[in-house]
Amino acid sequence: MKKCELCDSLAKMYCESDQAILCWDCDSRVHGANFLVAKHLRTLLCHLCQSPTPWNGSGTKLGPTVSVCENCVDQNDSREEMNYEETHDDDVDDGEEEGSEDDDDGDSGDDEENQVVPLSSTAPPVSSSSTSEECSAGFATRR
């Protein structure tokens, strides 16, 4: 595993401008020093293999974020596909026998837990910084 070049903690990102791999704390200290170094573009390292990921950002303090490189995503997709095929190959013949006994169109007693809530037809009021004259224009006054 790659270590932070300043404190030997686990490295989380790479700064190309500084050519340094850093942990979250050291990155915050280095790139919070002034506005020029805060503009450095940093690349997050994969939390599995510590290779660079497509994620990048800049600023004085980047919050802890988890990202995965494309190779690890591809490997995980391949594993999931293989596991899916292995677990579902045996169930092909058994599925018809088990499902044919009750004809309830696939509905189960889980409807109580899954409720659909419609969106409100009226939008919530928009808060803005406007003058009181503009705000009162839409209201009728009592006399």
- With contact defined as beta carbons under 8 Å apart, do 40 and 15 qualify? yes
Whether residue 62 is contained in a domain is answered as yes
Long-range residue pairs from 58-64, CB within 8 A, at least 24 positions apart, any chain: 58/31, 59/31, 60/28, 60/31, 60/32, 61/27, 61/28, 61/31, 61/32, 62/13, 62/24, 62/27, 62/28, 62/31, 64/12, 64/24
pLDDT tier at 130, thresholds 50, 70, 90: very low
Q: What is the pLDDT of residue 133?
A: 45
Q: What is the pLDDT of residue 124?
A: 55
Whether residue 98 is contained in a domain is answered as no
Read off the pLDDT of residues 36-77 as tens digits, 9 standing for 90 and up: 999 999 999 998 999 999 998 899 888 888 889 999 988 877
Mean pLDDT of 23-46: 92
Please state the pTM of the whole predicted model: 0.52
Whether residue 121 is contained in a domain is answered as no
Whether residue 130 is contained in a domain is answered as no
**How high is the mean pLDDT of the chain?**
74
Whether residue 116 is contained in a domain is answered as no
Which comes out higher in pLDDT, residue 35 or 109? 35
Whether residue 75 is contained in a domain is answered as yes
The domain in which residue 79 lies consists of 1-88
Q: Is residue 135 pLDDT above 50, yes or no? A: no
Whether residue 136 is contained in a domain is answered as no
- With contact defined as beta carbons under 8 Å apart, do 24 and 15 qualify? no
Spatial distance between the Cα atoms of 135 and 68, rounded to a whole number of angstroms: 48
DSSP letter at 134 equals H
Whether residue 125 is contained in a domain is answered as no
Helix (H, G, I), strand (E, B) or coil at 98: helix
The domain total for the chain is 1
